[in-house]
Amino acid sequence: MPESRTIDGNLKLKEQELTLRLAEQAGPYSVKTYRKAAGSAKKNRADLVDVPLGQDIPDLEMVEVAIGTPNAAAAAMRPGKTLAFNDLVFVEGQETQVAGFR
């Protein structure tokens, strides 16, 4: 059953990444989308999908990209990695575009 988590957008990017990794391991889940929460006060929403027990979940790596960076350009930033998401989120309280890779 899909889950969602709300993450504090005042946290640093690395803190948000670690929080999401812990949520994935607890499920086990995989982050499907990560973006600003609708109507939020600097909160982000992670939509998680179930991962079958025993299936490997590659570590999530999140990087800041320029606002407006299209998916193709973001994906090219990490050759050999798969782009999981590329969206606007809050990082340290500021609107920031973040790409997530596996």
Please give the chain's pLDDT, 102 residues, in tens. 568 899 999 999 999 999 999 999 888 899 999 999 988 689 999 999 999 888 888 999 999 999 999 999 999 999 999 999 999 999 999 999 999 999
pTM higher than 0.85: yes
Q: What residue ranges do the domains of the chain occupy?
A: 3-101
Identify whether 2 is preceded by a cis peptide bond (ω within 30 of 0): no
Task: At 96, list the tokens.
Answer: 């920031």
Residue in the structure block whose two tokens are 């800041």: 64
**39 secondary structure, DSSP code:** T
